[in-house]
Structure 1
Amino acid sequence: MLEGLHPNNPTHVARIVTDEARARRIADLLGESFDPAETAVAAFEREDGTPKPPWLVEVYFRTEPNRPAVTDLIRLAAGTDVDVAYDAFGEKDWVAASLEGLAPVVAGRFTIHGSHDRARVKRNSIGIEIEAALAFGTGHHGTTRGCLLALDDLLKRRRPRRPLDIGTGTGVLAIAAARALHRRVLASDIDPQAIATARNNIRFNRAGAYVAAIVARGTTAQRMQREKPYDLVFANILLGPLARLAAPMGKLLAPGATVILSGLLHAHANAALAAYRAQGLSLVKRYRLDEWTTLVLQRGGGKPRRSPRPAAR
Structure 2
Amino acid sequence: MTDESCRLYLTADKPTATAAYEWLSQNYEDDGYAVALQEIDEKKQVFEASVYPLDQVDAIATRFEDWIARNASSFNLQRETFEDVDWVARSLEGLKPVHAGRISVHGHHDCDSIAPGRLKIEIEAGQAFGTGHHGTTSGCLLMLQQIMRSERPGRILDLGTGSAVLAIAAAKLAPASVLATDIDPVAVSVARQNIDLNGVASRVKCCTATGFAHPAIAAGAPYDLIVANILAGPLKKLAPEMARHVTAGGSILLSGILDEQRRSVIAAYSGQNFRHIRTIHLEGWSTIHLKR
Same fold (TM over 0.5): yes
Q: Contact 1:98 / 1:138 at 8 angstroms: preserved in 2?
A: no
SS at match of 1:156: helix
Deviations 1:200-230 (A, max 9, x none): 0000100110001110002110110111000
Report how many residues are paired.
250
1:270 is paired with a residue whose SS is: helix
Q: Deviations over 1:52-102 (max 9, x none)?
A: xxxxxxxxx97737359879xxxxxxxxxxxxxx9x9xx9x8726852861
Look up the match of 2:49: none
1:154 aligns with 2:159: no
Q: Which residue of 2 aligns with 1:205?
A: 198
Preserved contact between residue 284 and residue 297 of structure 1 (Cα < 8 Å) = yes
What RMSD in Å do the two structures reach over aligned CA positions?
3.7
The residue that corresponds to 2:121 in the other structure is 128
C-alpha contact 1:235 1:262 (8 A) present in aligned 2: yes
Matched, 1:109 2:102: yes
Q: Which amino acid aligns with 2:252?
A: V
Once the 2 structures are TM-superposed, how far is the Cα of residue 144 of structure 1 from its aligned partner? 0.6
- Greater helix proportion: 2
Offset of 1:246 from its aligned partner?
1.3
Q: Are the aligned partners of 1:144 and 1:236 in contact in 2 as well (CA < 8 Å)?
A: yes
The equivalent residue for 2:286 is 293
Unmatched tracts of structure 2, length 5 or more: 10-16, 20-25, 34-52, 69-76
Is 137-146 or 266-275 further displaced after alignment?
266-275
| Cα offset, 1:281, TM superposition | 1.1
Aligned to 2:177: 184
Aligned to 1:139: 132
Which of 220, 227, 231 is the equivalent residue of 1:234?
Answer: 227
1:121 Cα deviation after fit: 2.1
Within-5 A mapping of 1:240-279: 240-279=233-272
Q: CA 1:136 to 1:182, structure 2 compared with 1: closer, same or farther past 3 Å?
A: same
Residue in structure 1 matched with residue 187 of structure 2 by the alignment = 194
Q: Determine if contact 1:238/1:264 at 8 Å carries over to the other structure.
A: yes
1:282 aligns with 2:275: yes
The 2-side partners of 1:214 and 1:110 are apart by 25
TM-fit CA distance, 1:244: 1.6
Q: Decide whether the 8 Å contact of 2:253 with 2:287 is kept in 1.
A: yes
CA contact (8 A) 2:171 2:178 kept: yes
Q: Which amino acid aligns with 1:192?
A: P
Gaps of 5+ in 1: 1-7, 17-29, 40-60, 72-85, 300-313
- How many Å separate the matches in 2 of 1:193 and 1:119? 29
Query: Is the 1:174–1:185 Cα contact (8 Å) retained in structure 2?
Result: yes
Higher relative contact order (CA 8 A, sep 6+): 1
Change (3 A) 1:94 1:294: farther
Aligned to 1:99: 92
Q: How big is the shift at 1:293? A: 1.2
Query: 1-side partners of 2:147 and 2:224: how far apart?
Result: 12
Change over 3 Å in CA distance of 1:37–1:263 after alignment to 2: closer
SS in structure 1 opposite 2:238?
helix
Q: Provide, for residues 133-180 of structure 1, a one-character-per-residue CA deviation record: whole Å limited to 9, x for no partner.
A: 101011111111100000112233221111110000000000100111
CA distance, structure 2, for counterparts of residue 37 and residue 292 of structure 1 = 19
Separation in 2, partners of 1:264, 1:273: 11
Instruction: Name the counterpart of 1:53.
Output: none
